[in-house]
Chain A
Amino acid sequence: MPGRLERPGALQFTAYVALAAFVLWSFQGAGWSFSALVSGGPAMADFLSRAWPPSLERLPQLSKALVETFQMALAGTIIGIIVSLPLAVLAARGLTRQTPISRVFYTSSRLLIALFRTVPDLVWALVFVISVGLGPFAGTLAIAVDTIGFCGRFFAESMEDVEKGPSEALTAAGAGKFDTIFCAVVPAAMPSFITTSLFALEKATRSSVVLGLVGAGGIGIELKVAMDFFDYQLAMTIILMIFVLVLLVERLGTIARGRILEGSSR
């Protein structure tokens, strides 16, 4: 009968201890404090009581800002998807011919996508506010860049995962690389492209809300102003509106994805 637990070796034991120490240290660095949590409770309750009932005063202006938020998200996502496609073709392993030039394109498109993905959208928004000025255009660009980072990666992966048979068949028939990609790879990857794009739209809707905080358009700036002026009832209205918008987009996305997956298995 083997023991229930294996006795760890000395090295393993040291690693466990170090890991545990690191986690504890991180909580300290994160300013974790039970007392603040406890004393914060009443303050939170105070905020909620002062925020209730939500104020309907500025509803027309807020609705306009909310619509603008979603417009930014939609436009940015669409631009992002359009740019992602060719970039993903370059960045997909084994799709293009192996020449020194194609390798340069491969590496640089991978780097670009990684850069767009790893730098947070709020940072991109700051950069674009500086370059194109305050307003929704800066936010739209930030969302487009963020979408390229997201879609570029997943588009490329789904094209790498496509079955090789149809591509080989078209190559055998004398088709060129470009035609082969558009005839054999893209149709097979299409369901995955669409679900990824819907996720990108959901993600963009969520981020379009906060981009306003740095002045890149949308409803976020209204929330910041309301908070700065301690107008908690207005803030509550905005938070609820955001909640409804994000929830709505997520629901629609889920329904659309369900339809598509159903269609592809038929």
Chain B
Amino acid sequence: MMPQAQLQTVGASAPAVPEQPCAGGEACELRVDGLRKSFGKNRAVLQGVSFAVHRREAVALIGSNGAGKSTALRCALRLVEPDAGSLTLFDEDITSAKARRLRHIRAEVGFVFQKHNLVPRVSALTNVIHGNLGRAGGIRGWSQAFAPSHLRERAMACLERVGLADQARKRADQLSGGQSQRVAIARALMQDPKMIVADEPVASLDPVAGQEVMDLFHQLTREEGITLLFTSHNVQQALDYSDRVLALKQGAIVLDQRSANLSAADLGKHYG
């Protein structure tokens, strides 16, 4: 309830983060500037959100339920159209990009949702193959049954990467929660993404499955150099799996600091 004090925190204790994100030549994957969004006549959910995600960085966005984390991520890819603000993805201004251009850019970002959002009634393999639709549409990308063998092989490799090659034929709605989320990650990997955006990827999983999924993200960022932006309302988890933490509160970023300089107790103050 003390936004002023918190804003001071940002200014005072975040020397590692440049004032103008990515202005200093540092490679920048995503930059969001002055993002605003409201739904209907309600108070604006986002009231000028600005942040940047650098190449190969793992960034956690924390905030309580309803703080606007999901909305911020959706706006960043224009899955929800922001009211104001500018968006830069991979050094390209997508604020007013046309549909076709936007699709090309989106194809480079793997989006993982809290609810895995797999297509039910079709196989895990088909769901992974869908990850290629941003590159090539058409009937051959609709199902594993029609897909050319190079796509099927690549999809199998992605399933292998998440440890689920043996579940390829299983219907998506028959997988466990953790398996579903890993198939969703395999679908994102099928995009061969530069960046993965994950919205509370483990919030609906049990602790063990959640740990597995977070470890998988960790490997992907470390071993394959994929940039990661994820949201969480678990403070400790956000710290453990990120290089940097952003906190969203009352429609603005109230904290932006290296995870190494933070403790869960520090974060607890800004959260809730």
Contacts and interface: CB of A to CB of B under 8 A. Distances in A.
Contact of A172 (B79, B104, B118, B119): B79
Contacts of A120: none
B169 interface: no
Given A173-B187, A174-B103, A187 B121 contact: yes
Contacts of A172: 77, 79, 106, 109, 111
B24 interface: no
Q: Chain B interface secondary structure, helix, strand, loop or mixed? A: loop
Contacts of B121: 187-188, 190-191, 264
A175 B133 CA distance: 5
Contact of B134 (A173, A178, A191, A266): A173
Interface in A125-175: 165-166, 168-175
A265 to B, nearest CB: 10
A169 B99 CA distance: 16
Contacts of A173: 106-107, 110-111, 130-131, 133-134, 187-188, 191
A256 interface: no
B226 interface: no
B129 to A, nearest CB: 9
B95 to A, nearest CB: 18
A174 B119 contact: no
B133 A170 contact: yes
A71 B174 CA distance: 39
A174 B104 contact: yes
Nearest to B129: A183
B133 A174 contact: yes
Determine the interface band of chain B, counting residues with CB < 8 A from chain A: 35 or more
Interface in B91-130: 99, 103-111, 113, 115, 117-122, 130
Interface in B71-102: 77, 79, 99
Contact of B113 (A165, A190, A264): A165
Contact of A184 (B107, B111, B119): B119
A165 B74 CA distance: 13
Q: Chain A interface secondary structure, helix, strand, loop or mixed? A: helix
A264 B141 CA distance: 24
A184 to B, nearest CB: 5
Which of B108, B113, B120 has the most CB atoms of chain A within a 10 A radius of its CB?
B120
A176 interface: yes
Nearest to B171: A266
B117 A179 contact: no
A10 to B, nearest CB: 38
Contact of B120 (A175, A178, A179, A188): A188
B131 A166 contact: no
A101 to B, nearest CB: 14
A169 B133 CA distance: 11
A170 B187 CA distance: 10
A179 B141 contact: yes
Interface residues of A, number: 24
Nearest to B110: A173
A174 B79 contact: no
Nearest to B132: A173
A182 interface: yes
B117 A168 contact: yes
Given A174-B103, A176-B137, A188-B120, A169 B111 contact: yes
Interface string B241-259: 0000000000000000000
A160 B144 CA distance: 26
Contact of A165 (B104, B115, B139): B115
A171 B107 CA distance: 9
A178 B137 CA distance: 9
Given A175-B133, A182-B139, A183-B143, 14 more contacts: A169-B113, A169-B117, A169-B187, A173-B111, A173-B130, A173-B133, A173-B191, A174-B103, A174-B105, A183-B119, A183-B133, A183-B141, A188-B119, A188-B120
18 contacts: A165-B115, A166-B118, A168-B117, A169-B184, A170-B130, A171-B106, A173-B130, A173-B191, A174-B108, A174-B135, A175-B103, A176-B103, A179-B138, A182-B139, A183-B119, A183-B142, A183-B143, A188-B121
Interface of A: 97, 165-166, 168-176, 178-180, 182-184, 187-188, 190-191, 264, 266
Which 10 A-B residue pairs are closest in the complex by CB-CB distance?
A174-B134, A174-B107, A175-B133, A172-B111, A165-B117, A169-B117, A174-B106, A179-B137, A174-B103, A166-B119
Interface of B: 77, 79, 99, 103-111, 113, 115, 117-122, 130-131, 133-135, 137-139, 141-143, 174, 184, 187-188, 191
